[in-house]
Amino acid sequence: MSDEMEGGENRKKIMFIMRKAPHGSIYSYEGLETVLITAAYEQDMTMAFVGDGVFALLKGQDTSSIGIKGFIKTYGALEDYDVNKIYVDRQSMEERGLTLDDFAIPVEVKQAEEIAALMEEQHATIPY
Amino acid sequence: MKFAVQVLEAPYNNQASDTAYNFIKAALERGHTIVRIFFYHNGVINATKLAEPPQDDRNIYKRWTELGKEKGIDIVACIAASKRRGIKDGHIVEGTRISGLGQLADMMVEADRLITFG
């Protein structure tokens, strides 16, 4: 990693948009991997969970019956990586009958318009 | 403008690889720079040299060699995603390479725009 990559003036706003359910496809899992790696580059990172993506944050996930390694615990490590801006789209949450109490980590619920406005501020948005 | 390009889907199964190629060609023709092309998810299958598509169709794999070898664009398949899907060094098309996710983070920061296909 070069010096200029380590934050400072080159610190860029990057938003990861998590759109898929955690299981059934690998998008959510591999998406989270990119979040963790990018965090090592000390960028100004945001995660937005929209659509079925909100299911990725459910607490009490048990993947033993589908024979897939779960990764909900990895979300608990985001704080250690200084990834603190974690937003859930309100409509996506409510359409799926979920409330803040259902999530395994602290998140902030935002209106779609607020998330859209945040997207406008980003240097890059990366959809998974 | 400096573009970084990410391809997330496998060739032929999805149009992402075709659209990415067409975008890159058009961008180069207009004098833009491609910082890097990064293959992720099933997009890593773009890098296999073991494929033999029918001869009466486009050869998507050769397009990456054209961009990587002839145009000198850095083309990277994610190593973790590649290992999951049977893509390894020695089995990748000329003009591409396998490396870590840091290459994705790096190009996002470096480029003016990140464009994702798939």
What is the DSSP code string of B90-110?
TSB-TT-EEE-THHHHHHHHH
B45 Cα to chain A: minimum distance (Å): 15
List the single best residue of B45, B101, B103, B110 to mutate versus A (max A Cβ within 10 A): B101
Bridge partners of residue B113, in order along the sequence? B3
When pLDDT is averaged across residues B85-103 and rounded to a whole number, the result is 97
In this prediction, residue A3 carries a pLDDT of 44
What pLDDT is recorded for position A7? 53
| A1, part of any domain | no
Of A31, A42, A123, the residue nearest B2 (C-alpha): A123
Tally of domains within chain B:
1
pLDDT tens-digit series, residues A61-110: 999 999 999 999 999 999 999 999 999 999 999 999 999 999 999 999 99
What integer is the mean pLDDT of B61-90? 97
Cβ–Cβ < 8 Å for A104, A72? yes
**Mean pLDDT calculated for residue range B31-49:** 98
Q: How far, in Å, CA of A66 to CA of B63, rounded?
A: 39
Is a pLDDT exceeding 70 seen at residue A2? no
**Residues B67 and B37 sit within 8 Å (Cβ to Cβ):** yes
A7 lies in some domain:
no
Work out the pLDDT band at A10, boundaries 50, 70, 90. Answer: confident
Number of domains in chain A: 1
pLDDT at residue A8 in the model: 58
Residue B30, amino acid: R
What is the rounded average pLDDT of the residues B32-47? 98
Q: Is the pLDDT of residue B14 over 70?
A: yes
Single-letter amino acid code for the residue at A98? L
Residue A119 inside a domain? The answer is yes
List the CATH number of the domain containing B101.
3.40.1260.10
Closest approach of A99 to chain B, Cα-based (Å): 30
What's the sign of the alpha-carbon dihedral A42, B3, A25, A113? positive
Facing B101 at nearest CB: one of A12, A33, A127: A33
Q: How many helices (H) and strands (E) does chain A have?
A: 4, 5
Q: Answer whether A34 sits within 8 Å of B104, measured CB to CB.
A: yes
Buried b (16+ CB within 10 A) or exposed e, A5-17: beeeeebbbbbbb
pLDDT at site B98? 98
* Mean of all residue pLDDT scores within chain B: 97
B45, B73, B76, B78: the catalytic one is B78
Average pLDDT over residues B19-41: 98
When the pLDDT of each residue in chain A is averaged and rounded to a whole number, the result is: 93
> What's the rounded mean pLDDT across residues A53-66?
96
| CATH code of residue A77 | 3.40.1260.10
pLDDT of res. A105: 97
Range of the domain at B21: 2-117
Domain that holds residue A101: 19-127
A76, part of any domain? yes
ipTM of the complex: 0.89
pLDDT of residue B89: 94
pTM: 0.92
